[in-house]
Amino acid sequence: MNTYRKGFFMFNSMRSVIFNTILLVILLSCSKQDGTTPTPDLPANLKSLKLEHPRLFLTDEKLNQLKELRKTDAVLDKYINTVIATSNSLVTKPMLTRMLIGPRLLDVSRELPKRTTHLAMAYSFTADKYI
């Protein structure tokens, strides 16, 4: 029983670490490049790296494509609207805190990426700085 429980906690904490790492990568890839940041001296194999952010998953180019596409694609428009509607309700909620339920933090760990992705996506489409 104790072994199972120990394993369960280890699994949870590992999952939390992995999750936070992924989130960090997403957030770093989404951060806007400051215009004053000096161009890094990149090694040869990274010369083709896109300097502007967001860089990895949702580039400005893709965002603009989606903005255009939603005008004619009703299903896409519905998806985007659902994300914005969810964000409207998230923005007035209290900030998340590190609140343990017994030994667990899973609720908060799940809620954080949900909020981050929804709010980031909604901001990209509305420029509403409060979502």
The distance of closest approach from Cβ of residue 111 to another protein in the complex, given in angstroms and rounded to an integer, is 16
Residue type, 78: K
Question: In the complex with another protein, which residue's Cβ is closer, 104 or 114?
Answer: 114
Long-range pairs for 52-57: beta carbons < 8 A, 24 or more residues apart:
53/29, 54/29, 54/30, 55/29, 56/25, 56/26, 56/29, 57/26, 57/29
The distance of closest approach from Cβ of residue 118 to another protein in the complex, given in angstroms and rounded to an integer, is 13
Question: In the complex with another protein, which residue's Cβ is closer, 11 or 130?
Answer: 130
How far is the C-alpha of 118 from the C-alpha of 83, rounded, in Å? 6
Chain residues in the site for another protein (CB under 8 A): 80-81, 84-85, 88-89, 91-92, 125-128, 130
Question: In the complex with another protein, which residue's Cβ is closer, 29 or 88?
Answer: 88
The distance of closest approach from Cβ of residue 55 to another protein in the complex, given in angstroms and rounded to an integer, is 26
